[in-house]
A and B are shown apart, each in its own frame.
Chain A
Amino acid sequence: MTTYQFFTTAWTWNSIVLILSALAFVGYFLAFGQRGRLLYFAAAVVVFLLAFISPFSALANGYLFSAHMVQHILLVLIVPALLLLSLPWSFSLRPSLTYFSHPLVGWVAGVGAMWLWHAPTLCNAAATSRTVSAIQTTSLILMGSMFWWQVLAPREEQRLSPLAGIVYLFSACTACSVLGIILTFAPVSICPVYQHPVDRLGMLSTIRGDWGLTSNRDQQIGGLLMWVPMCAIYVTAILAQLARWHSGSAPQTEESNA
């Protein structure tokens, strides 16, 4: 299959994903109605859909570790951030859930989501079993939401103070960079499934040949994606914290951040 054919045909119209997205929309309207910020929610759903029906998903599904990493980053950082931003400003957690809103819990969830799912056994299992993959997706979105809650919670008093937020984000950036560095320089495959993919779509020769992505390079790119672009997201968030800090003690009105 050529590159062009691949990107035109490899869209996976996964019915479960589509139904879930539709249900999410309905649920969102039932819960918040007019109070919600629909644009953010729509963006979250679009990113979620892109992660699962675009050709990237086909690549992540057993072909390329780096594509898997893109999916991973979208699910743990982008989708949860957009979801939190879509919440109405009046939203607050049920008292029984405030346990999860401790900064340490959020930090461990955010960083743990990266480390845990890249343990070779789990990474392999998620790439081969649909059940594990579904668990992974759910956990990534949940853990990502717990992480971002400290920074993007709807109400000012639920968030960390800006300077504490910078420490929170920077330390998470460092912890993920370390994993990225390990993945980049590891001589062994972290997720052996991607070393010898099952060629379901007849794409392997294009990937290895035309794209020049050997399994070593593939893992390097995966590690680098976790190291550099992911940190760029954290740095953006750090700058947003600085902007919030300098915008003064006046009550918060608008916050743009992704």
Chain B
Amino acid sequence: MNGTTTIAEFRDAVLDPAKRAHYRLAWLSTVDHKRIAVLYMLTALVFFIIGGVEALFMRLQLAVPNNHFLQPDTFNQLFTMHGTTMIFLVVMPVVFGLANYVLPLQIGARDMAFPRLNAFGFWCVPFGGILLHFSVLAGGAPAVGWFSYAPLSETPYSSSPGVDYWAVALFVLGIGSISFAINTIATVISLRGPGMTMRRLPLFTWINFVNAFIIIFALPVLNAGLAMILIDRLLQGHFFLPFRGGSPVLWQHVFWAFGHPEVYIMALPAFAMVSEIIPVFSRKPIFGYEFVAASSVAIAVLSLGVWGHHMFTVGMGRPLDVFFAISSMLIAIPTGVKVLNWTATMLGGRIRFDVPMLCCIAFLIQFLVAGLTGISHASVALDWQTKNSYFLVAHFHFVAVGAIVFAVLGAIQYWFPKMTGRMMSESLGRWTFWLMVIGFNMTFVIQHFLGLLGMPRRVFTYPDLPNWGWMNMLSTAGVFFMSASALILVWNLATSFFRGKIAGDNPWDAWTLEWATTSPPPHENFIALPPIRSRRPLWDIANPDRPDPVVGEVSAAVALPDHNKVGILSFILSETGFFGALILAYLYFYARPGAGPGPKELDVPRTLVFSVCLFASSFTFWRSEMALHKQKRGSTLGWLALTIVLGAVFLGGQANEYWKLFQSGVDLSTNMFSTTFFTLTGFHGLHVLLGLITLLIFLWLGWEGDSVSSKFDSAFKAAGYYWHFVDVVWVFVLLTVYILPLVR
């Protein structure tokens, strides 16, 4: 070749794992789901230690009344960083890691649907974590709490860049989480092995699949909120600044519209782990598979509409309080159904009390307590009394530690043999477990009573009131047990990795597919898959005389949808949430007009002309797709080029409109209208621009002669879905921003 590489050569060199294996840093450049999963979990472990030390410092400060071990501002930074770290850098990465490892194995897939997207999603975690912690060097960590309420988080009240780093870090982590969710959905829908129908999915896979949808809907809402607060802080917008017409309560709505589903994003994977472990160690199939599966869907759907119970003390008004109270209480039903199922699975089983099972039993008991205090917070009158007290702190730590961390501890002990080929030490595991049970309950049970006595959360110290001293001291003492437990866990992981007992393929006599392959599995996961007719394929093999009843049709050969299509549709779903939040924020302020420029400044006829260009580009793209289908290369490229030109003309029109507004002195910081207008249309324009870049890449690929492969076809279609979606969004933006003011 004349010095340049063709696309095919380039692709082979970069994408073939065998050709990259010689790299010294193979673990860092890996796209293997098993290695990425381990990286996820190791990263979580590192941040778990950081977040744990932060907690230790806080508890030391609170051990005795009137303590001056820490400065108030340091304490604020510590609780902000502790909360953010534990949620976004510990729980989410570790549950994603476990799912990343186990889920493809359970469905008999070779890897996740998009291995490189998977690597991208993982690398967002260390990147986001470093961004967040870099704030410490750049003028102080954020000190506004993990939900970063406005207006405290706005520039006038938090002038150091801590909140900026916080917001950018969470934005990055949010993108990573969404990419993981897209990958999960595409994997489960498109990569199941022969015989693995949707109804035969193991519960772990099913619940993680459902969870991916909550991520897809909830995280984009957070990202929209983060974009707004960054625009406020960096571009002088006014979304959440009350004295410029903004609304701090809107931030609370946006944040909790994400924040409540987030609780379930963390809890559902824990449910998934427990649903897998309890049957295996009770030597019984799960009691009521269908109920566990369906109640997960109910939880997922309900979780999206109950965020108001975080805001009872804001003063939303009686009607909102009542409706949110009722809808929040409804969630107790599917959750209770699950607890019943797990308990009934254990009933009459030959229970083996190994460490994974011990963790699950502790999970059940502690989760029950967490659920009961949770329901108490759904009651408005009770919530008014206990909100922002240590009662609340105790409640959510019972969820986050008592339920989620215990489930994760059990899951690690359970799947560690599969990942490493060696068993974790059972005796060290018991030490970890019992120290954690003692430490956790010592720390947090007493906090319920501290809260009921009136101790508020987020205070750096407290006066020497009756009983407060010894209660806090007891709470602090518990932390040392938990620290010891964590140290033993790390020691156990390290020593078992090198010297643990050899595990064999299926050390627990479990029934799901991941135990059908070697420990650790080969790069391609399976040499051959066993026949799958029920939800416990390995049981069927071990007990040919009494197999499980066949689920669904016996020969369930189904054509799986193209993973590119599923992936891009999931992505579009998440973008819908993002734009939905932005449009609703626009309407919120549109209905409360202030002084200064408004929609009347906009040139509607001119915008309509440019809109026609954008809509026409959807048509030309469709023609291009048709031509590709008929293998007409020239015509494909011609229509594609026309699509790009039309998109560019639209962007030019938008740029022109911006320019005219700037000329007349209207920019993002002028008033609420300009803030919301530029945010909404700006983000749409950005999406058009990204679409144009994508289409240009395809034009280049087609020009180079790559348009014959079937891969090109499927990817081209996926790009088309995205392009049409961008046009559909514009329909809604056009209606809201330009047409709505005309019809009133």
- Give min CB distance, B541 to chain A, whole Å: 23
Supposing A188-B591, A235-B302, A248-B552 touch, asked if A242 and B293 sit within 8 A by C-beta, the answer is: yes
| A246 touching B294, Cβ below 8 Å | yes
Are B584 and A178 in contact, CB atoms less than 8 angstroms apart? yes
- Contact across chains for B297 and A185 when beta carbons are under 8 A apart: no
Complex: how many Å from CA A127 to CA B192? 54
Say whether A220 contacts B293, CB under 8 Å. Answer: no
Bound Cα distance A228, B324 (Å): 8
Q: Which residue of B lies closest to A213 (CB)?
A: B319
Residue interface mask A174-196, B partner, CB < 8 A = 1: 00011001101111100000000
Which B residues lie within 8 Å of A249 (CB)? Answer: 552-553
Chain B: number of interface residues, binned into ranges: 20 to 34
Of the candidates A181, A188, A235, A246, the one whose C-beta lies within 8 Å of that of B290 is A246
Does any Cβ of A come within 8 Å of B372's Cβ?
no
Interface pair B305/A227, CB less than 8 Å apart: yes
The residue from A173, A228, A242 contacting B297, defined by CB atoms under 8 A apart = A242
Q: Nearest chain B CB to A93's CB is how many angstroms away?
A: 29
**Are B591 and A224 in contact, with the CB atoms below 8 A?**
no
Interface of A is mostly: helix
Number of A-B contacts (CB under 8 A): 61
| A163 & B301 in contact (Cβ 8 Å cutoff) | no
A123 interfacial by beta-carbon distance below 8 Å: no
Interface status of A25 (Cβ within 8 A of chain B): no
Bound together, the chains give a CA A170 to CA B199 distance in angstroms of 20
> Which residues from chain A contact B546 at a C-beta distance below 8 Å?
none
B199 touches A246 (CB 8 A): yes
CA distance A217 to B319 in the complex (A): 7
Q: Check if B584 sits within 8 Å of A228, measured CB to CB.
A: no
Nearest B residue to A245 via CB reads B199
Chain A neighbourhood of B198, CB < 8 A: 163
Tell me the complex Cα distance, A235–B551, Å: 25
- For the complex, count residues of A whose C-beta is within 8 A of B: 31
Judge if B52 is at the interface, Cβ distance under 8 Å: no
Please tell me if the beta carbons of A177 and B290 are within 8 angstroms of each other in the complex: no
Is B600 located at the chain interface by the 8 A CB criterion? no
B323 at the interface (CB under 8 A from A): yes
> Are B319 and A221 within 8 A (Cβ)?
yes
Q: Give bound CA distance, A188 to B298, whole Å.
A: 34
A177 to B551, CA, bound (A): 36
Q: In whole angstroms, what is the CA distance A173 to B294 when docked? A: 17
Q: Is A231 an interface residue (CB 8 A)?
A: yes
Is B318 close to A, CB under 8 A? yes
A227–B323 contact, CB under 8 A? yes
Of the candidates B301, B317, B551, B591, which one forms a contact with A170 in the assembled complex, judged by CB atoms under 8 Å apart? B301
How many angstroms between the C-alpha atoms of A212 and B317 in the bound complex? 12
B473 at the interface (CB under 8 A from A): no
Cβ-based interface call for A238 (8 A): yes
From A173, A220, A242, B317 is in contact (CB under 8 Å) with A220
Distance (whole angstroms) from the CB of A135 to the closest CB of chain B: 21
- Name the B residues within 8 Å of A178 (CB-CB): 580, 584
Q: List 12 A-B contacts (CB under 8 A).
A: A170-B301, A181-B584, A188-B591, A220-B319, A221-B319, A231-B301, A235-B298, A235-B301, A238-B297, A239-B297, A242-B293, A248-B551
Supplied contacts A220-B317, A224-B323, 13 more A-B pairs, CB within 8 Å: A177-B305, A181-B584, A182-B587, A184-B320, A217-B317, A217-B318, A220-B319, A227-B305, A238-B297, A238-B301, A242-B293, A242-B294, A246-B290
Listed from nearest, the 10 A-B pairs whose CB atoms lie closest are A242-B294, A224-B323, A246-B290, A220-B319, A221-B319, A228-B323, A228-B327, A187-B591, A235-B301, A186-B591
Interfacial residues, chain A to chain B (CB-CB below 8 A): 163, 166, 170, 173, 177-178, 181-182, 184-188, 212, 217, 220-221, 224, 227-228, 231-232, 235, 238-239, 242-243, 245-246, 248-249
